[in-house]
A = this chain, B = another copy of it.
Amino acid sequence: MSRLVMKFGGTSVANIERIRNVARHVKREVDAGHEVAVVVSAMAGKTNELVAWCTEASPMHDAREYDAVVASGEQVTSGLLAIVLQGMGIQARSWQGWQIPIKTSDAHASARIEDIDGSEIIKRFRERKEVAVIAGFQGINPETNRITTLGRGGSDTSAVAIAAAVKADRCDIYTDVDGVYTTDPRIVPKARRLDKIAFEDMLELASQGAKVLQVRSVELGMVHNMPIFVRSSFDKPEDIDPHANQPPGTLICSEEEIMESHVVTGIAFSKDEAQISVRQIEDKPGVAASIFGPLADANINVDMIVQNVSEDGKTTDLTFTVPAADYTRAKDTITAAKAKIGYARLDTATDVAKISVIGSGMRSHAGVAAQAFSALAGRNINIRAITTSEIKFSVLIDAAYTELAVRTLHTLYGLDQA
């Protein structure tokens, strides 16, 4: 017998028929003897509708009221799934964040989970074989007794945090893809589904644009060493053998549990980037702050930052990227601060893409990046900038070469399907 948390997103619970399908997945695990907590999102489209009402009510709305409004979406789904499960003869009850309670920080609309009391849920697993149906995405601010939400996509984070709190053996995230791929299969038909991936690698993949899982949920999984299994909610529940060693999907787990690991795990990319190069700034302390301070104040997320060592010890160039949507604002912000920063000119490009190669195996393998540079050169793809970390490197290229670059690297690192 295992203890499982099963998480279902908005498209999986979009109507009663789909909720019934979710319930059959739950029943399969219950029938196999497992203790189950289910975490659900709002019905597809509901959260957007509620958010739109808040914005219509007032563009500058109180985040505490926003949370009260928006959290209602998950409340509805949790009650409905409990009803459907009961109708199938399964003992079940719904739980709102404030009932468990799921205590969070007071950062309304983007709260962080601080503490979950899993004792009552565990007690009911044991005494009543009761399935806990938990509203994702929400919690309570214990100081004010008010509803909080975790920010968009927060239900993944709810699920992993709850899994840790109830000491689950695994957290299953049911989603509209059947696992984590070496790269986007729409770009690289030879992309391969990974059976396993280390938390660190998944964290980089998620941060670099792979949208399978929310980054914070992977962080939490890593902190609590809670295995996360990404699998498809579209599989027919009846077709799955709960006793099979591993059904189709990708297990995100600690590095030690991955026997044979590739040097490179996956390749992520993001197309909607813009590049701004600030030329001939003075090479002295504080100059970087004079650039990124105003950008932070303008709430612009800077991604890559590249600054080379000054050639003459006096001036240097600094390049950074921002989301394409923020390009004009970023350029205007830097232009407005020109006197304070003190630079010669700005060189900018909007049609650029960032390709990231990820793999914790890089730690022990030298020259992984060098292979990429020469392979890209072989395709006549010019590299605009490079950044590296311990288990990842990223290159900035012209967006037109994105697909070619991703496919080239996918083959280079032996990620293509057999």
Whether A119 sits at the interface, judged by CB under 8 Å, is no
Nearest CB of chain B from residue A56's CB, rounded to whole Å: 4
A:46-72 near B, CB below 8 Å: 50, 53-54, 56-58, 60-62, 64-69, 71-72
Contact of A79 among B65, B76, B86, B94 (CB under 8 A): B65
State the oligomeric state as a number of copies.
2
> Main secondary structure on chain A at its contact with chain B?
helix
Q: Which residues of B contact A78 (CB under 8 A)?
A: 68
Residue of B nearest to A94 (CB): B68
Q: Which residues of B contact A54 (CB under 8 A)?
A: 79-80, 83
* Complex CA–CA separation, A79 to B108 (angstroms): 14
Choice from B19, B62, B69 contacting A75 with Cβ under 8 Å: B69
Question: Is A16 at the interface (CB under 8 A from chain B)?
Answer: yes
- Checking B68, B76, B87 against A58 with a beta-carbon cut-off of 8 angstroms, the contacting residue is B87
Whether B72 contacts A76 by the Cβ 8 Å rule is: yes
Q: Take A64-B93, A93-B64 as given contacts and tell me if A57 and B84 are in contact as well, using a CB distance cutoff of 8 Å.
A: yes
Q: Is the CB of A68 within 8 A of B79?
A: yes
B61 engages A86 (CB within 8 Å): yes
Task: A75 to B67: give the CA distance in the assembly, Å.
Answer: 10
Task: Write the nearest CB–CB distance from A71 to chain B, whole angstroms.
Answer: 8
**Any chain B CB within 8 A of the CB of A40?**
no
- The smallest beta-carbon distance between A267 and chain B, in angstroms, is 42
Contact A76 B56 (CB under 8 A): no
CB neighbours of A76 from chain B (8 A): 50, 53, 69, 72
Interface check A82, CB cutoff 8 A: yes
Minimum distance in angstroms from A146 CB to a CB of chain B: 7
Choice from B72, B82, B83, B145 contacting A72 with Cβ under 8 Å: B72
A65 near B53: Cβ-Cβ < 8 Å: no
The answer to whether the Cβ of A402 comes within 8 Å of any Cβ in the partner chain is no
- Chain B positions within 8 Å of A66 at CB level: 79, 83
A182 within 8 A of B: no
> Known contacts being A53-B16, A65-B94, A145-B99, is A58 close to B72, with CB within 8 Å?
no
A201 to B147, CA, bound (A): 42
Q: CA–CA, A73 to B66, complex, Å?
A: 14
Partner of A86, one of B65, B75, B80, B98: B65
Q: Which residue of B lies closest to A49 (CB)?
A: B76
Min C-beta distance of A327 to chain B, whole Å: 31
**Which residues in A have some Cβ–Cβ distance to B below 8 Å?**
16, 19, 50, 53-54, 56-58, 60-62, 64-69, 71-73, 75-76, 78-80, 82-84, 86-87, 93-94, 96, 98-99, 145-147
29 A-B interface contacts by CB (under 8 A): A16-B57, A19-B57, A53-B76, A54-B79, A54-B83, A57-B80, A58-B86, A61-B83, A61-B86, A61-B87, A62-B86, A64-B93, A65-B80, A65-B83, A65-B86, A65-B93, A66-B83, A68-B75, A68-B82, A68-B94, A69-B76, A69-B80, A69-B83, A71-B75, A72-B72, A72-B73, A72-B75, A75-B75, A98-B98
Instruction: Enumerate the 9 nearest inter-chain pairs by beta-carbon distance, A residue then B residue, closest first.
Output: A58-B87, A69-B79, A72-B72, A68-B79, A57-B83, A65-B79, A16-B56, A61-B83, A65-B82
